[in-house]
Chains A and B, each alone.
Chain A
């Protein structure tokens, strides 16, 4: 079974630029999560989708971050404009049905904002 795919794996941008990350969850998984993991910290949930609807985006900085999952499969996370403090690993995870089903994480995208 293929795992969660993410791209790119690494990205370096300058502050105030825009960046987008892509995630392809495990086939058949209805729930998709985006996490931000700052160096030395645990992952923090940014947004959770159930199919193509948003379940929880309470910790998403909506003035600069946006995410979509148009067809209930792939998802993109965008930052516009980026700030230095956005430097982190952005993890995508998926689960079969949400709730406390096991979450399967992708390898993450490491973002460095200069």
Chain B
């Protein structure tokens, strides 16, 4: 099955700086990669996703990049704000499958 690794496990940045979280996957057939934000006491919330037919996708301060050859994808948050503090999970799956394979999470702290 798929194996998703996520780094770093914790990340602290100053407000206004950028944050980058990286994930690698093992199954070359995976072709859909969502990112979730989980705040304390809440369920994960989808923040951005990317399909394997594109290399980059942006939504305001958030961007995701995908390198299919190297089998890794990254989340980039620019101009970080304290409300960006949360745990972020990457996931990988096949568009035709049911299983979402999640990374182990990155706890992001934005220091005011």
On A, residues with C-beta under 8 Å from B are 4, 40-45, 48, 55-56, 58-59, 91, 93, 98-100, 102-103, 105-108
Which of A45, A98, A102 contacts B46, CB < 8 Å? A102
Would you list which residues of chain B between 35 and 80 have a CB under 8 Å from chain A?
41-46, 49
A44–B4 Cα gap in the complex (Å)?
12
A42 touches B93 (CB 8 A): no
B102 touches A100 (CB 8 A): no
A41 touches B44 (CB 8 A): no
A44 and B102 in contact (CB under 8 A), knowing A99-B95, A107-B41? yes
Which of A43, A45, A48 contacts B44, CB < 8 Å? A43
B4 cross-chain contacts in A, Cβ below 8 A: 42
B32 cross-chain contacts in A, Cβ below 8 A: 100
**Chain A: which residue is nearest B100 at the CB level?**
A45
A53–B105 Cα gap in the complex (Å)?
31
Chain B residues with a Cβ closer than 8 Å to the other chain, count: 22
Would you list which residues of chain B between 77 and 103 have a CB under 8 Å from chain A?
89, 91, 93, 95, 98-103
**Min CB–CB distance B69 → chain A (angstroms):** 22
A43–B103 Cα gap in the complex (Å)?
9
A16–B50 Cα gap in the complex (Å)?
43
Which of A42, A55, A56, A102 contacts B105, CB < 8 Å? A42
Residue of A43, A59, A91 with highest tally of chain B CB at under 10 A: A43
Q: B104 interface residue, CB < 8 Å from A?
A: yes
**Min CB–CB distance B100 → chain A (angstroms):** 6
B43 touches A100 (CB 8 A): no
Which of B43, B93, B95, B99 contacts A106, CB < 8 Å? B43
B6 cross-chain contacts in A, Cβ below 8 A: 42
A105 touches B45 (CB 8 A): yes
Q: List 28 A-B contacts (CB under 8 A).
A: A40-B105, A41-B102, A41-B104, A41-B105, A42-B4, A42-B6, A42-B91, A42-B102, A43-B44, A43-B89, A45-B98, A45-B100, A48-B98, A55-B98, A56-B98, A56-B99, A59-B99, A91-B44, A98-B98, A99-B95, A100-B32, A100-B49, A103-B46, A103-B100, A105-B43, A107-B42, A107-B43, A108-B42
